[in-house]
Amino acid sequence: MNKIVEKYKLSESVFKFIVEAPMIAKSRKPGNFVILRIGDRGERIPLTIVDSDTEKGTITLIVQNVGVSSSKFCQLEAGELITDLVGPLGKATHIYKAGTILALGGGVGIAPLYPIVEAFKKAGNRVITVLAARNKELLILENEMRQWSDEVIVMTDDGSSGRKGLVTEGAEEVIKREKVDECVAIGPAIMMKFCAQLTKKYEVPTQVSLNTIMVDGTGMCGACRVTVNGETKFTCIDGPEFNAHQVDFDEMLQRLRAYKSEEDQARNKK
Amino acid sequence: MTDHTEMLKQERNTPWRVELRNSVPGKDRIAIERVKMNEVEPLERIKSQTCEVNCGLTPEQALHEARRCMDCVNPTCIEGCPVSINIPKFVKQIEAGKFLDAAATLKEFSALPAVCGRVCPQEKQCELKCFYSEKMNKEPVAIGYLERFAADYERLSGKIQIPKVEERNGIKVAAIGSGPSSLSFAGDMIKLGYEVTVFEALHEIGGVLKYGIPEFRLPNSVVDVELENLKEMGVNFEKNFVVGRTASFDDLKELGYKAFFIGSGAGLPNFMNIPGENLNGVMSSNEYLTRVNLMYANQSDSDTPIMLGKRVAVVGGGNTAMDAVRTSKRLGAERSLIVYRRSREEMPARLEEVKHAEEEGIEFMNLANPVEYMPNAEGRVAKARFQRMKLGEPDASGRRKPVAIEGDIFDIDVDLVIVAIGVSPNPLIPACLPGLKISRWGTIEVNEETMQSSIPEIFAGGDIVRGGATVILAMGDGRKAAASMHRYLQEKQKK
C-alpha cells in the first residue's frame, strides 16, 4: 500500500499525484514506469513516472480520467492509499549529449515526456519542446517544461493557447529552421505515428514511448506486443521506448482497440 | 549401502510396518483394484471456473488404496520422486489409519504436498516406478491421490502441524519469485534458522500456482493454507517488489542479505512468429490465464477486461494448453479446440488433464500446426489456417518429429486463439546482474549438484534454470539450493 501525499488538478480530467514510494523514488530513471492497482478487484495500469523526490521518498504520477480504472485513481484524495504499486519497470531512456533535442508532447503524453526533457537538458543538450493539446484548458506542465527547455512552442487545435495547429506543424518548423540531432515524441499513438512520418522524411532519429495495453508489466503475458522493424517486441521489457521509424503504428492502433467493446460496457455499467 | 537406503530399510523394519505388512497376504493386496478418483460430473463442473474437478478420496477409499502398496524391499517409487518423499512410509501410515502422521511424513520432504498431490505428473514419476507398473503390468498404486488425501485430511482437520524450526541464526537470505521453487527453498531455509524474505513482483504470492494453474485444478484456498504455514514458520513475504529494479542486489546486500535464491520462473511466453499472430484475439496462454486466475477478469466485479470466444483454438499440447482450453469452455465457448503438431501419444500434458478435457467436450486436432491467422473487418482474428503434419524420425528429445504434409492446408473459423507453446526465461532479473553466466537459451547456468550460479552468493532453480518444467522439479531445485546455500553460508561463517 502506498500513500498519496498530495493531489493536484491539472485540467478538467488530468490529475497529478505525489505518492510515497521511497525505494522507487531512489531507483527510478527517466522513461521508467510503474504498474498500479486500485482496489482488490482493480486492473493493473501502467503509468510513467513523471518525477521523484529522493529526500521525501515520493514519486509523481499524472493520470487522465479516461476509463473505469483511471477514474478510480482520479477519485482518490491525499491521505488515501493505492492498493498496489510496483516499479520502476521498463528500460530507461538513453540519455546522452546529442546536441539539439526536439521534444514533442501531445495531451497527457506531455507527462511522460517531462522527465526525458529534464534529463536531456541536464546532460547538456539544447532542448526545443513542442507541446500540443486540444485547447488551453487541456495543456499541462507548460511552466515546468519551460524550466528545462531552451524554447517551448505551444500548439492547440483551437488556438486558445500558443498557435493554432498540430504538433507536427510546430515540429516541422523547427526541423526546417535548424539542425535537430534527435527527436523524442510522446502522446496518443496517432500523434506519434504522424511525428514518425515527419521526422523520417527529414531523417531525424526519433524515439517514441509506447502506451500499449499491459497486464503484468514484467514480460509475462505479451499483451503489450508491438512490431518493431518486422519483429515482435514486448513494450514492457524491450521498451517502452523504440525507434519511431521502425514501429508498426497501424498494428499498435488496432491492438489498442482490442478491449474497446468490453471497456464501453464497463463504463456504462458503472 | 548409502545412509539414505539404510535409513529407509530401518524404517521399513520398525515393528508397526512389519506387522502391517504381514497382516495382509501379498496376493490379496495385488487382487485389489485401483481406486477411482471421485469427480464432479463434466456438465456440472464446466459451469464454474472454481469448481474443483477431483473431489479427493474418502478415508475408506484411501485405506483401501493404501492396502494395495506392497511396501517393497526396494521401493523404486522413491527414485521416481524429484524430492525423494519416503512414499511407502506415508502410504503405510495411511493404511494404519494414522492420517496426520502420513501428512507429517510428507512435510518432511515437501513444502507443498496438497499442491503436488494435485499437479504432479505422477504417471511419469513415482507411479511409473511403482512395483505394479514395473513388474506386474498393472495399474500403479495411486500415490498422487494418497498424497492429496493425507495433505487435505490434515488441512481440513484443523490440526495443521507447523514443522519445527531451528532457533533464528540472524543470517538474512532472499528468495526471488514466490513460485514453487522459492517456496520450497524458503521452507527449508526457515527450518534451518535463517531469516528468509520472499520477494514477489506481482500483487499476489504463489507465482504460477496463482496466475497459471486454474482453480478447477488447484483451488487458491489450498495454496493459501500452504502460504500461511510458511508465514507461521517465520517466512517474510514482500509483494510488488522487483529485485534488481525496486532495489538492486547491492542495495539488498547493504540491508544485510547474505545470499540469494533466484526462482523467477520462465515468464516469457513464446510465439510462433507467423502472419496475423498480433491480431486482436490472439494471445498467450499466460495472458489469458493471468486475466482469469490472477485478475478475476471473468467475474463481474473485476476491472480487468477479458476477450470471450465462441470458437476457441488453443495451440499446444502441455498442461498449460489444457488449462487454457478448459478455461475457455467454462467461460462459455461453444467450440474449444486443442491444436497440437504431434499425435496424442507425444502430448506432454498429464494424462488426467487430457482425460478431463475430453470428458468436458474439448476437441483434439492432432498433427496440425497453425501457419496464419486472418482478421474480420474489425481486425479481430476470424480464421486460422492450419498445416497438416505427420510424424517423421525421432528428434533430439526422442519424440518423433512432426513434418508438414506438403499442400495439406485447411482453414477453421475461430474468434479466439490462445498460444500455449511454452515459455522462455524472463530476462528481467538476469539482466540486472552483470557477471551472471547465462546460457544461450537465457537460462541461468548453475552447478547441477549445488544450484550455485557463477556468482557465489547467488543460487537459482526452477524454470529460470530449466527453461520450462514442472512444479515438483522446481521444488526439488529449491530444496537442493537450500541445502547447498546452508553449507556455503556455514563455511563462510567459519572463515
**pLDDT, one tens digit for every residue, chain A (270 residues):** 999 999 999 998 899 999 999 999 999 999 999 999 999 999 999 999 999 999 999 999 999 998 888 999 999 999 999 999 999 999 999 999 999 999 999 999 999 999 999 999 999 999 999 999 999 999 999 999 999 999 999 999 999 999 999 999 999 999 999 999 999 999 999 999 999 999 999 999 999 999 999 999 999 999 999 999 999 999 999 999 999 999 999 999 999 999 887 777 766 655
Tell whether B185 and B58 lie within a shared domain.
no
Q: For residue A17, with 0-12 CB atoms within 10 Å meaning exposed, 13-18 middle and 19 or more buried, which class applies?
A: buried
Taking the mean position of all CA atoms in its chain, how far away is CA A217? 16
Tell whether B196 and B338 lie within a shared domain.
no
Q: Determine the residue of chain A that is closest to B248 in CA distance.
A: A27
pLDDT confidence of residue B394: 87
Can you read off the three cell numbers belonging to residue B134? 514395473
Q: Determine the residue of chain A that is closest to B423 in CA distance.
A: A220
Which of B390, B422, B454 is at the close of a domain? Answer: B422
Taking residue A29's Cβ as centre, other Cβ atoms within 10 Å add up to: 15
Can you read off the three cell numbers belonging to residue B336? 474449444
Q: Determine the residue of chain A that is closest to B420 in CA distance.
A: A221
Can you read off the three cell numbers belonging to residue B150? 493425507
A220 and B245: CB-CB below 8 Å? no
Tell whether B391 and B472 lie within a shared domain.
no
Can you read off the three cell numbers belonging to residue B120? 504432479
3-state DSSP percent of chain B in helix, strand and coil, to 5: 40, 20, 40
A219 and B239: CB-CB below 8 Å? no
CB A47 within 8 A of CB A24: no
Domain-located, residue B398: yes
pLDDT confidence of residue B16: 95
Tell whether B104 and B181 lie within a shared domain.
no
pTM: 0.93
A223 and B287: CB-CB below 8 Å? yes
CATH value at residue B150: 1.10.1060.10
pLDDT confidence of residue A269: 57
pLDDT confidence of residue A267: 66
Tens of pLDDT, residues B109-140: 888 899 999 988 898 899 999 999 999 899 99
B246 contact residues in A (CB cutoff 8 A): 23-24, 27, 86-88
Domain-located, residue B167: no
Domain-located, residue B123: yes
CB B106 within 8 A of CB B113: yes
B241 and A68: CB-CB below 8 Å? no
Which of B98, B125, B157 is at the close of a domain? Answer: B157
The DSSP-derived string for chain A is -EEEEEEEE-SSSEEEEEEE-HHHHHH--TT-EEEEE-STTPPPEEEE--EEETTTTEEEEEEE--SHHHHHHHH--TT-EESEEEEEESPPP-----SEEEEEEEGGGHHHHHHHHHHHHHTT-EEEEEEEESSGGG---HHHHHHH-SEEEEEESSSSSSEES-HHHHHHHHHHHS--SEEEEESSHHHHHHHHHHHHHTT--EEEE-----SSSSSSS-TTEEEETTEEEEHHHH-SEEEGGGB-HHHHHHHHTTTHHHHHHHHHH-
**Gap between the Cα atoms of A130 and B408, Å rounded:** 56
Please provide the average confidence, as pLDDT, over all residues in chain B.
93
The total number of structural domains in chain B stands at 3
Type and span of the H or E element at B416: strand B416-419
CATH value at residue B388: 3.50.50.60
A250 touches chain B (CB under 8 A): no
Can you read off the three cell numbers belonging to residue B6? 539404510
B277 contact residues in A (CB cutoff 8 A): 232
Domain-located, residue B319: yes
Domain-located, residue B229: yes
**Gap between the Cα atoms of A48 and A36, Å rounded:** 11
Tell whether B97 and B239 lie within a shared domain.
no
What interface predicted TM-score (ipTM) does this complex get?
0.94
Helices (H), B307-385: 319-330, 351-359
Domain-located, residue B321: yes
Which of B92, B126, B157 is at the close of a domain? Answer: B157
pLDDT confidence of residue B267: 80
Tell whether B397 and B276 lie within a shared domain.
yes
Interface test with A, best of B210, B238, B246 (most A CBs within 10 A): B246
Domain-located, residue B194: yes
**Gap between the Cα atoms of B104 and A73, Å rounded:** 47
Residues, chain A: 270
Tell whether B96 and B30 lie within a shared domain.
yes
Tell whether B216 and B152 lie within a shared domain.
no
pLDDT confidence of residue A268: 67
Q: How confident is the model at residue B400 (pLDDT cuts 50, 70, 90)?
A: confident
Can you read off the three cell numbers belonging to residue B117? 498431490
User: Could you give the 3-state DSSP secondary structure of residue B121?
Assistant: coil
B267 and A220: CB-CB below 8 Å? yes
CB B47 within 8 A of CB B218: no
Tens of pLDDT, residues B444-477: 999 999 999 999 999 999 999 998 788 889 999 9
Domain-located, residue B164: no
Tell whether B397 and B451 lie within a shared domain.
no
What does R_g of chain B's alpha carbons equal in angstroms? 23
**Gap between the Cα atoms of A212 and A125, Å rounded:** 29
Residues, chain B: 495
B203 and A86: CB-CB below 8 Å? yes
What b/e string do you get for B346-378 counting C-beta neighbours within 10 Å, with b at 16 or more?
A: bbbbbebbbebbeebebebebbbbbeebebeee
Interface test with B, best of A221, A232, A265 (most B CBs within 10 A): A221
**B382: containing domain:** 270-422
CB A33 within 8 A of CB A212: no
Determine phi and psi for B354, rounding to 5 degrees. -65, -45
Taking the mean position of all CA atoms in its chain, how far away is CA B247? 29
Tell whether B122 and B180 lie within a shared domain.
no
Q: How far is B35 from chain A (nearest CA, A)?
A: 39
Tell whether B21 and B117 lie within a shared domain.
yes
Can you read off the three cell numbers belonging to residue B436? 551472471
Tell whether B214 and B285 lie within a shared domain.
no
